[in-house]
């Protein structure tokens, strides 16, 4: 079984069907940890353990070693010198031994930050120890305020792969959220379907939902799409959020609409961002709520969406540019997509319109947008909910036309965006590896962490690969990352291309769109069989810049990719 020709003959940890090889894999993993290549500090300064200090809120979602969904949300406290001194986490693993763990205390752990903001070695992974097990995460810091994270565990019972982000937690009390309005989205799965939601609500002075609206879309393992709220969305008839008075502990939330009542544990990042993880056992989802905005962002919006192509039961993902005129028109749009491993040479174009914002909700209709088998739809419909996070305006996006399940996010693009040279970047790629899936005859989750420096279009650094599928987890730590970047020559704002000499070994080729001076969104489009979205964040070890808003949506854009996996498993088994 290959790892697409990755040059990792001795340091790949594989859960073998024979116990003796599982033991040997673990011994190789330990032996190779101390000799991993060392990262180069980004041009803006070198990172160290002191850059990870304080209490951070995080969320991760992906696939476990049993082939089912696994999701985490919680907090951890880092002491700035490599130790984890506390925290609380929720874990959802319905198909595995962990089941549902709520509010489990973090009793210890550790980390070791290298100069490039990644773990110094394999033994430097972020490790959280609880009474129910020890959980390991790979990471790359953007600043002292947070970064990107992947679940990076070969545990024979609950190992797996997944992606998310973590942000430095600020003081949040019940009084600081009461009376506030939020936009939210969640995504994940049930035992028989994949599901995504989006909506908006306003809390009253005691934390109960005064008004609210929600959209929900699901697709069953047999390919049946359900949009129970229809074209108008479902009114929230009840709900509340109650935060815990204990530092680091989760609060609770409950929301009632036509499909039912759904409950969550809630980990606040700040008064303007709350992390959700579902606890009712109906669905197994994670997501975020952000401060609600009062208008659809006008101008250029960089979007990123993922889901499944119902026509062939395969994952699809796209990034691009959505140009709104502020009065209901989408004057132009550009789309780079990857549908089941097939991508166009140049971006497709589309147009459309959007309705007046009502109760925090609008409906976008797109014409020519590719949402299945490379065909542009004549009328794709998406519910959109505007938000503001860290000074960045954006929109939650969810397909509601019954043609599939596609969801994601869009961000207002700054003027004259560029992919800066002389800058260090952290990167996360997350999605489905179809090439490896053909070999093992199972859907394969892949989540990769990288750090690189852009030197006039030459990208060099290190990348960590992680694949998970039924019965297997394969990891390749600190591999050489090499690629080149070229800005779009046709004038599409912020668009560029990343090319790597050996896709799947030194990285992946991508189409990228710059959001602002901190963040770019990307889709893999190199024909390697990897269907994935990417997040590229600038790094600064010398300043504690605000956490990039786009990091906070990595779970949302990632989780929709699970739909293709569950659908494919239902058809094959």
Convert the pLDDT of each residue in 307-332 to its tens digit.
Answer: 887 777 788 899 999 999 999 999 99
Q: Which residues are within 8 A (CB) of 122 and not within 5 positions of it... i.e. 6 or more apart?
A: 11, 29, 32, 33, 36, 477, 478
Give me the phi and psi of 422, to 5 degrees please: 70, 30
Distance CA 309, CA 314 (A): 5
Region label for 175, one of left (φ > 0), alpha (ψ between -120 and 50) or beta (otherwise): alpha
Convert the pLDDT of each residue in 96-152 to its tens digit.
Answer: 899 999 999 999 999 999 999 999 999 999 999 999 999 999 999 999 999 999 999
Closest CA to 404 of 193, 224, 198: 224
Residue 4 has pLDDT above 60, yes or no: no
Residue 30 DSSP SS3: helix
Cα 444 to chain center, whole Å?
Answer: 16
Closest CA to 446 of 456, 434, 457: 434
Closest CA to 103 of 286, 239, 246, 242: 246
Least confident of 291-305, 326-340, 419-433, 530-544: 530-544
pLDDT band at residue 436 under the 50/70/90 scheme: confident
Q: Is beta strand 472-487 parallel, antiparallel or unpaired with respect to 495-499?
A: antiparallel
Residue 216 has pLDDT above 70, yes or no: yes
- Over pLDDT 70: what percentage of the chain? 87
pLDDT band at residue 532 under the 50/70/90 scheme: very high
Least confident of 39-48, 70-79, 105-114, 427-436: 39-48
Element (H, E) at 234: strand 234-235
pTM of the predicted model as reported, rounded to 2 decimal places: 0.90
Distance CA 265, CA 281 (A): 12
Residues 447 and 567: beta-carbon distance below 8 Å: no
Residue 79 DSSP SS3: strand
Supply the pLDDT for residue 374: 64
pLDDT band at residue 373 under the 50/70/90 scheme: low
The size of the chain, in residues, is 573
Domains in the chain, CATH or no CATH each = 174-292 (2.40.128), 299-416 (2.40.128)
Distance CA 261, CA 256 (A): 4
Residue 555 has pLDDT above 90, yes or no: no
Residue 444 DSSP SS3: coil
pLDDT band at residue 28 under the 50/70/90 scheme: very low
Residue 17 has pLDDT above 50, yes or no: no
For 167, the token pair is: 């942000």
Least confident of 26-30, 33-37, 545-549, 565-569: 26-30
Residue 561 has pLDDT above 50, yes or no: no
Supply the pLDDT for residue 543: 67
Report the half-sphere exposure of 194 (CA within 13 A, side-chain side): 33
Please state the rounded mean pLDDT for residues 439-454: 90
Beta-strand runs (E) in 310-433:
314-324, 329-339, 348-354, 362-367, 370-372, 375-376, 380-389, 392-399, 406-412, 423-433
* CA 14 to each of CA 17, 25, 29, 125, 464: distance values in angstroms, whole numbers, following the listed order: 9, 6, 10, 18, 15
DSSP 110-174: E--B-TTSSBSSGGGSEEEEETTEEEEEEEEEEETTEEEEEEEE--TTT-EEEEEEEEE-----H
Least confident of 186-200, 271-285, 413-427: 186-200
DSSP 537-560: EE--SSS-PPPPGGGGGHHHHHHT
Supply the pLDDT for residue 345: 86
């Amino acid at each position: 079984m290959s790892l697409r020709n990755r040059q990792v003959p001795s340091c790949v940890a594989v859960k073998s069907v024979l116990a003796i090889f599982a033991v040997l894999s673990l011994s190789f993993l330990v032996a190779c940890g101390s000799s991993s290549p060392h990262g180069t500090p980004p041009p803006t300064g070198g990172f160290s353990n002191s850059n990870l200090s304080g209490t951070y809120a995080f969320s991760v979602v992906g696939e476990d070693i049993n082939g089912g969904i696994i999701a985490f949300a919680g907090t951890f406290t880092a002491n700035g010198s490599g130790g984890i001194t506390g925290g609380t986490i929720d874990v959802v693993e319905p198909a595995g031994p962990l089941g549902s763990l709520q509010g489990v205390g973090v009793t210890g752990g550790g980390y070791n930050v290298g100069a490039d903001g990644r773990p110094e070695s394999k033994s430097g992974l972020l490790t959280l120890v609880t009474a129910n097990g020890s959980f390991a995460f790979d990471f790359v810091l953007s600043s002292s305020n947070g970064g990107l994270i992947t679940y990076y565990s070969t545990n024979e019972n609950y190992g797996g792969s997944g992606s998310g982000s973590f942000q430095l937690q600020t003081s949040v009390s019940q009084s600081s959220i009461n009376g506030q309005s939020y936009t939210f989205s969640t995504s994940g799965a049930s035992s028989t379907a994949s599901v995504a939601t989006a909506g908006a609500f306003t809390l009253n002075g005691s934390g109960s939902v005064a008004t609210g609206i929600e959209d929900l879309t699901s697709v069953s393992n047999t390919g049946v799409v359900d949009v129970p709220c229809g074209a108008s969305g479902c009114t929230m008839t009840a709900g509340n959020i109650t935060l815990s008075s204990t530092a680091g502990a989760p609060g609770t939330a409950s929301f009632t609409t036509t499909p039912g009542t759904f409950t969550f544990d809630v980990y606040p990042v700040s008064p303007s961002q709350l992390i959700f993880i579902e606890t009712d056992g109906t669905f197994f989802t994670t997501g975020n709520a952000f401060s609600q905005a009062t208008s659809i962002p006008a101008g250029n919006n960089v979007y990123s969406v993922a889901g499944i192509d119902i026509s062939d039961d395969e994952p699809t993902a796209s990034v691009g540019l959505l140009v709104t005129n502020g009065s209901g028109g989408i004057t132009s749009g550009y789309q780079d997509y990857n549908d089941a491993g097939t991508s166009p040479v140049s971006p497709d174009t589309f147009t459309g319109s959007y309705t007046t914002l009502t109760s925090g909700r609008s409906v976008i209709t797109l014409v020519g947008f590719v949402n299945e088998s490379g065909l542009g739809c004549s009328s794709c419909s998406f519910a959109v909910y505007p938000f503001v996070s860290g000074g960045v305006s954006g929109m939650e996006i969810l397909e509601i036309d019954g043609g599939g399940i596609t969801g994601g996010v869009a961000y207002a693009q700054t003027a004259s965006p560029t992919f800066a040279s002389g800058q260090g970047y952290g990167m996360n790629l997350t999605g489905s590896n179809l090439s490896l899936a053909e070999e093992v005859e199972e859907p394969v989750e892949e989540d990769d962490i990288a750090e690189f420096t852009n030197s006039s279009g030459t990208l060099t650094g290190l990348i960590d690969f992680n694949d998970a599928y039924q019965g297997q987890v394969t990891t390749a730590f600190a591999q050489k990352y090499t690629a080149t970047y070229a800005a779009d020559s046709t004038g599409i704002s912020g668009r560029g291309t990343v090319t790597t000499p050996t896709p799947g070994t030194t990285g992946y080729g991508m189409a990228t769109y710059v959001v602002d001076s901190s963040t770019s969104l990307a889709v893999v489009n190199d024909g390697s069989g990897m269907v994935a979205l990417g997040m590229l964040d600038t790094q600064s070890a010398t300043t504690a810049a605000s956490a990039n808003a786009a990091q906070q949506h990595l779970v949302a854009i990632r989780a929709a990719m699970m739909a293709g996996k569950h659908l494919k498993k239902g058809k094959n088994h």
